[in-house]
């Protein structure tokens, strides 16, 4: 069974309790030359952290386990254009597709975009009309283009890197996992960036199953928690899909006593959204989840988690704190700073196994 819900304190529900100091030079700006060179901190049963590398994950996986990966692919969701008659360059970030040609978008500067405005991204190739303005300031854009949408977007769009990465990647594919095969995310499920095809093959050769789910990462990734009391935070919903084959594979391993180890918080939120609280088994489904995991949450199916190091005061730091304990997690982060791990999307990772078995 997954770890029991940890004892929480009133402080665990305060935003300021998830702050920590991080030297700016530890924020990774580029991926390592090779994906599988990343360092991996292992947190196991609240023993002292062990400092290893991603290839050492083989030592912690058992033949009966199941590794759950998110196979969503990042789209080049950032576009630049102008409103005819205006000189200001408009940056548009696609957030979510609402209809065949209509998307909810973030725009910067948004005040320049009024209802009915047209944005020209490339003359005679791609433009969009502002057809709606949401309460949160996002814009609804209906696109007009020549050709195939995916090809146009590939030609004109840029990878939507997080704001703490200050330059474009030389190789945009390094912001994709090697197993991503379905477009839909506006940010990478970054824990999966550490895997190579060779490492995945070695894991399967050991007998460990690899189950692929989809959760298309949305705008919540870019938005920090702002409420002083974390219960007041509202998660944005994201689209997921788990096939019958995948659900059967996960359930078979779970019933046989194997551990369900999620690669990334997106895989975690997907299986936890679909898990039965009584049986710990999941059902196949296509839908949306706004599951918000913070200390006090009772995990239903996940037994282990591979994840990157997250931003201070973020919902993702709250998720890992729910799994391992806030104070223990912040202590591990402090040690990661001392040991000069690389932080955030392009940085190193940690393997969290709360209970030895």
The pLDDT tens digits of the residues spanning 236-274 come to 899 999 999 999 999 999 999 999 999 999 999 999 999
Given a cut of 70, is residue 338 above it in pLDDT?
yes
Measured CA angle at 153 (ends 147, 177), to 5 deg: 130
User: Cα separation of 287 and 300, whole Å?
Assistant: 19
First to last CA, the chain: 11
Classify residue 103 by its DSSP letter: E
pLDDT digit string (tens) for 215-244? Answer: 999 877 667 899 999 999 999 899 999 999
Contact in structure between 210 and 204 (CB atoms under 8 Å): yes
Given a cut of 70, is residue 126 above it in pLDDT?
yes
109: preceding bond cis by omega (within 30 degrees):
yes
Calculate the CA dihedral of residues 342, 293, 250, 222 and round it to 10 degrees.
Answer: -50
Contact in structure between 74 and 186 (CB atoms under 8 Å): yes
Q: How far does Cα 131 stand from its chain's mean position?
A: 29
| Sign (positive or negative) of CA dihedral 179, 182, 183, 189 | negative
Classify residue 5 by its DSSP letter: P
pLDDT digit string (tens) for 7-35? Answer: 788 999 999 999 999 999 999 999 999 99
Given a cut of 70, is residue 284 above it in pLDDT?
yes
Residue 106 to residues 94, 110, 145, 333, Cα–Cα distance (Å): 7, 8, 20, 32
The HSE-up count of residue 226 (CA atoms within 13 Å, CB side) is 4
Classify residue 282 by its DSSP letter: B
User: Cα separation of 353 and 158, whole Å?
Assistant: 36
What is the residue-averaged pLDDT of the chain? 94
Q: Considering just the CA atoms, what is the radius of gyration of the chain in Å? A: 21
Given a cut of 50, is residue 357 above it in pLDDT?
no
* Confidence at 112, pLDDT banded by 50, 70, 90: confident
Average pLDDT over residues 183-210: 97
């Amino acid at each position: 069974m997954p770890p029991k819900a940890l004892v929480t304190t009133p402080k665990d529900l305060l935003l300021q309790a998830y702050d920590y100091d991080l030297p700016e030079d530890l924020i990774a700006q580029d991926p390592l030359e090779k994906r599988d060179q990343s360092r991996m901190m292992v947190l196991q049963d609240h023993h002292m952290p062990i400092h290893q590398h991603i290839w050492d994950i083989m030592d912690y996986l058992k033949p009966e386990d199941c590794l759950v990966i998110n196979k969503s692919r990042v789209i080049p969701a950032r576009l630049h254009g102008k409103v005819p008659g205006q000189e200001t360059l408009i940056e548009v970030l696609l957030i979510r597709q609402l209809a065949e040609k209509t998307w909810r978008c973030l725009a910067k500067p948004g005040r320049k975009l009024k209802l009915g405005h047209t944005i020209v991204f490339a003359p005679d190739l791609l433009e969009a009309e502002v057809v709606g303005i949401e309460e949160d300031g996002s814009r609804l854009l209906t696109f007009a283009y020549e050709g195939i949408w995916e090809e146009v977007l590939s030609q004109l769009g840029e990878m939507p890197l997080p704001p703490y990465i200050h330059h474009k990647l030389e190789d945009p594919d390094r912001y994709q996992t090697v197993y991503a095969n379905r477009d839909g995310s506006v940010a990478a499920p970054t824990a999966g960036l550490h895997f190579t095809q060779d490492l995945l093959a070695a894991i399967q050769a050991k007998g460990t199953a690899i189950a692929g789910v989809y959760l298309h990462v949305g705008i919540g990734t870019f938005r920090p928690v702002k409420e002083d009391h974390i219960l007041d935070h509202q998660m944005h919903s994201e689209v997921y899909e788990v096939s019958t084959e995948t659900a059967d594979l996960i359930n078979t391993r779970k019933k046989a006593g194997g551990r369900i180890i999620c690669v990334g918080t997106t895989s975690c939120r997907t299986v936890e959204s679909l898990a039965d609280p009584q049986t710990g088994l999941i059902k196949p489904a296509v839908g949306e989840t706004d599951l918000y995991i913070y200390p006090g949450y009772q995990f239903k199916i996940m037994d282990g988690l591979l994840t990157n190091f997250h931003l201070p005061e973020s919902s993702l730091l709250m998720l890992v704190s729910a799994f391992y304990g806030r104070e223990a997690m912040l202590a591990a982060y402090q040690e990661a700073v001392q040991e000069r791990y690389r932080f955030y999307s392009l940085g190193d990772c940690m393997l969290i196994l709360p209970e030895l078995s």
